[in-house]
Chain A
Amino acid sequence: MIALLSRRLAGLVITLLVVSLVIFAVMDLLPGDPASIMLGTSASPETLAALRRDLGLDQPLLIRYGQWLAGVFSGNLGQSYTYGVPVAGLIIERLAVTLPLALIAIMLSVLIALPLGVLAAARRGGIMDAIATVFSQVSIAVPAFWVALLLIILFSTTLGLMPAGGFPGWGTGFLPALQALIMPAVALALPQAGVLTRVTRSAVLDTMHEDFARTAVAKGLSRSAVLWRHIVPNALVPILTILGLQFTFLVAGAVLVENVFNLPGLGRLAFQALSQRDIIVMQDVVLFFAGLVIVMNFIVDLSYLAIDPRMRKAA
C-alpha cells in the first residue's frame, strides 16, 4: 500500500518534470517576442534590447529553464510581463473564480445526472430511460457557450434578473459572487451532465448483471435496496473516473464560457497570456493545468481504493 503510494508519487513528480520541459520548449518555439509586443511598432532596437534585458529574455534557453524551475520549486513563479505582478498571486486570484465555478458545475451535473442515469437504468426502456436519452443527446450536442448566450439573452437582457457577466469579486459578498457564477455554471454543467447520465446509466446496467446483484435479489431484498445499496456503489468506479476527468476539463477548458460571461478565470488568463506572449504566465498556468490533471488522476486512483476493497487487496 505505502509502496504503491510512493511509487505513484515518484511517477507524479517525474511526469511533472517532463511536462515542464515540454512546456518550456514549446513556449520557446512560439513565434513572437514579448518585448516587441509590449513596446509596439515604434520602438527602436536599443529600446527593445533594454526591455529584453529587463525581462531576462537575453539569457540562453537552458539558463532560463533552470531559473524558472528553481523558482517553481521555491514557490516563486516569477513576474508577469504584462501585469508586472507575481504570477502566483494572479493564479490564486483566478482560481478564486474558476475553482468555485468548476465545483458548482460539477455539483449541478452530479445532481442532474446521477438520479437520471440510475433511474434510466432501473427502468430500462421506460419513460425515464427515454427522457434520459433525449436529455443526454441534446445536452452533449449543444455547445456550452451557446447555452451561455441563451441564458444571457433570457435572464439578463430580456428579464433583467441576472448580471450579464463580469465578476464582482468575493470581497463584495458571497451572494453577488455566486450570482455571477450561477449562469456560467449551468452552461458548463449541462454538457457534462449529459455525458455523466450516459456513463451512470451504462455503469448501473453493467453492475445489474453481476452475480452479487442476483444474489441480493435472491436473498429477498427489495428492488430499491438492491439498486441503491448494492448496485450503485459498485457502479461508482467508472462514474468517478469521468468526474475526475470532467473536473480538470472544467478548470482548464472553461475558457469559452469565461469569455462569454467575461469571467476573470484561469482559462482566460491563459488565453490572454498567449496572445500577449506573456510566456512566464503561460508556462506557469499550463504547468498548473498539467499538475492538476496528474493530481486529479492520483486522487481518483486513491478513491478507487477507498470504494472497492478488492482493489485495496490487489494493491
Chain B
Amino acid sequence: MIKVSLAPSARLMRRISMGAALSAGIMVLALTPAEAAKTTLNLGMSVEPAGLDPTIAAPVAIGQVTWQNIFEGLVSIDETGKVQPQLAKSWEISPDGLTYTFKLQSGVKFHDGEAFDSAAAKFALDRARGKDSVNPQKRFFSSIASIDTPDAETLVLHLSSPTGSLVYWLGWPASVMVGPKSAADDKTTPVGTGPFKFSTWAKGDHVELVKNADYWNKDDAAKLDKVTFRFINDPQAQAAALKSGDLDAFPEFAAPELMSSFDGDARLTTKIGNTELKVVAGMNNARKPFDDKRVRQALMMAIDRQTVIDGAWSGLGTAIGSHYTPNDPGYQDMTGVLPYNVEKAKALLAEAGYPNGFTFTIKSPQMAYAPRSAQVIQAMLAEIGVTMNIEPTEFPAKWVKDVMTSRDYDMTIVAHAEPMDIDIYSRDPYYFNYKNPAFNDLMKKVQNTADPAEQAKIYGEAQKILAEDVPALYLFVMPKLGVWDKKLKGLWENEPIPSNVLSNVSWEE
C-alpha cells in the first residue's frame, strides 16, 4: 500500500512529477504497436462499477462488466431470458420440489488454477447464504437448508420449502461461482471461471479483460483477445467518444434524444431493444388518498403513457400496464386495463370523494427519465384537477433513506432494474406499502412449481391484479439503446438481465 500523509504535499508533487518524467522515458521505448487484425473491443458504459464482485454489492454495473465474462454460474440466463446449463451440466428436482441435484462440469478451473468442483460450489453458496453474508440477493438462498457434496461432480441442495425460481435465480450475477482461495479479493481482482480474465482497473476510467486461453468450454470461448470497458457518464461525451471512434460500442447509450444524431453515420449502427428497467410511479398505498383504489385508478387513467414516453424518452420505450416486461415469461399486455380516459378519471375521482382534486408531492430522483416523466405527468394530472408538486430527491442516498427505508413519501418515480421482480409487491415491508393477500398467495404459488408453463400462467394472473389495483402507475419499459460499429457481431439487442455478455462477440472480416 502506498502511504502518504497530507502535510508534505510538496513531496507528493515531486513524486508525481517524477512518475510523469519516468513514464515519458518509457514512452520513447514503447511506441504503440501497429494494429493487426481486430481482436480488441472498446465498450462504453455510463456507470463505473463499485467493486468487481457481484456477490457482495448490488450495483448493476458490476454484473455488466463481470457476469458471464469473468464469472459464471451453475446456470446462466440466455439472450431470451431462458435458463441454460453452465457450470452445472444438468440437474434434477425431486417431485416434492425440495431436493435439487446438480451434475457439474468436470475439468473446470478458476483463472488462478484452483479447481471448480462441488466443494467450491458449496463454498460459494455457503458464502452467499451464511450469517455474515453481504450478498445483495441473500433472500435467493434463504430456502436452502443444507448442501451435500457426495462426489466432486455432484452438488445436492436440500430446501426447507419449494422454491420454483431457484434455478433462475442461480443464473443471476449475485449467484456466480467464486473460488474458495480467491473470493476475499474478488472486489478488486476478480477471479472466475469465465472466458475472460481480469487484467487491470484504472479507477475512474476503464477496466480491461483479456481472453482466458484455458477456458473449459470450447464452444463458448472468447473470440476477442482484449476488451476494455470505458466508463463515461456524460451523454455528450458518450456520443463524442462513439463518433470519434474512441469507442466501438455503447450497448446502453444514456441519452435517447441523441440517438438520431447517429443516423447516417457510415460506421455506426443503432439497435433499440428492451431492458428489464420498468419505469413506475410508486404510490404510498398506506397514505391518503392513495389508500383508495379508485384514486389510484383515476390517476392511471389520467395518464397517456405514449405521451410520457414521447416527452421523457424521445418516443423510445414500450408502454406497460403492470410490473412486467415483454422480455419476461408469461408477459401479457395490460395497457388496456386502465386506458387513458380523462372523463372516466374525473368521474372516479369524484366517486372517491375528490371532485375538486387534491394536492400531493412526488419525490423525483435526478436521473433524466424521472424529472422529465414527472413533468409530463404533472401536466396530465392537472387536467383532472390534481396538483402534483415535484420535489427533486437525490438518488440513491436521499431516495433510499426517504422512500425505501422511511417510506415517507406520497408518490415517487424510479426505474426498477431487477428482472422478474414482480414479487416486490408481496414483500413486507416494501416502499409501496401495498398489502394484498390474493397477490401474496400467487407469489407463494409460483414458488411451489418449477414448471415454466405453470409459472407463466401464475405470473399472468399476478400481472392482472397489479394492472387493476395499480399500487404504482405503470409507465414504460426503458429501451436498450445500443450503438455500435456495424462490423461488430454478437452483442445482445435485448436485455433480459443487465449484462454485457461478450463470449460470442467478434469482428466481421
Contacts and interface: CB of A to CB of B under 8 A. Distances in A.
B259 interface: no
Contact of A32 (B16, B231, B245, B400): B400
- Which of B24, B50, B204, B404 gathers the greatest number of chain A CB atoms within 10 Å? B204
Interface in A131-169: 149, 152-153, 156-157, 160, 163-167, 169
B139 A173 contact: no
A173 to B, nearest CB: 3
A75 B57 CA distance: 28
A165 B241 contact: yes
Interface stretch (B232-240, B305-313, B478-486): B232-240
Given A40-B58, A96-B20, A291 B7 contact: yes
Contact of A164 (B4, B138, B246): B246
B30 interface: yes
A161 B503 CA distance: 33
A95 B240 contact: no
Interface stretch (B103-111, B129-137, B293-301, B449-457): B129-137
B12 interface: yes
Nearest to A85: B188
B19 A165 contact: no
B396 interface: yes
Contacts of B218: none
Contact of A157 (B24, B234, B244): B244
B3 interface: yes
Contact of A272 (B48, B188, B243, B421): B48
A219 B58 CA distance: 77
Given A88-B2, A166-B206, A170-B23, A260 B133 contact: no
B9 interface: yes
A42 B20 contact: no
Interface in B97-148: 131-139
A211 interface: no
B138 A44 contact: yes
Interface residues of A, number: 80
- Which of A39, A96, A172 gathers the greatest number of chain B CB atoms within 10 Å? A39
A77 B20 CA distance: 24
Interface string B249-284: 000000000000000000000000000000000000
Nearest to B403: A41
Given A92-B12, A264-B202, A288-B6, A174 B240 contact: no
A89 B114 CA distance: 30
A269 B56 CA distance: 22
Given A75-B5, A163-B244, A164-B244, A33 B400 contact: yes
A36 B239 CA distance: 32
A225 to B, nearest CB: 35
Given A43-B136, A166-B246, A167-B205, A262 B232 contact: yes
B444 interface: no
B1 A88 contact: yes
Contacts of B30: 173
A259 B16 contact: no
A198 interface: no
Contacts of B27: 172-176
Given A92-B2, A171-B23, A264-B204, A276 B50 contact: yes
Nearest to A36: B400
A30 B397 contact: yes
A39 B50 CA distance: 11
A275 B15 CA distance: 30
Nearest to A177: B23
Interface in B2-58: 2-7, 9, 12-13, 15-16, 19-20, 23-24, 26-27, 30-32, 48, 50-51, 57-58
A139 to B, nearest CB: 21
Given A42-B421, A174-B24, A175-B27, 6 more contacts: A42-B418, A50-B134, A92-B2, A165-B232, A166-B205, A291-B6
19 contacts: A32-B394, A32-B397, A41-B58, A72-B5, A74-B3, A83-B51, A84-B51, A90-B203, A156-B243, A165-B237, A165-B241, A166-B206, A166-B232, A167-B202, A169-B205, A174-B20, A176-B32, A277-B397, A295-B9
Top 8 nearest A-B pairs (CB, nearest first) are A32-B397, A40-B58, A264-B204, A173-B27, A174-B24, A82-B50, A164-B240, A170-B23
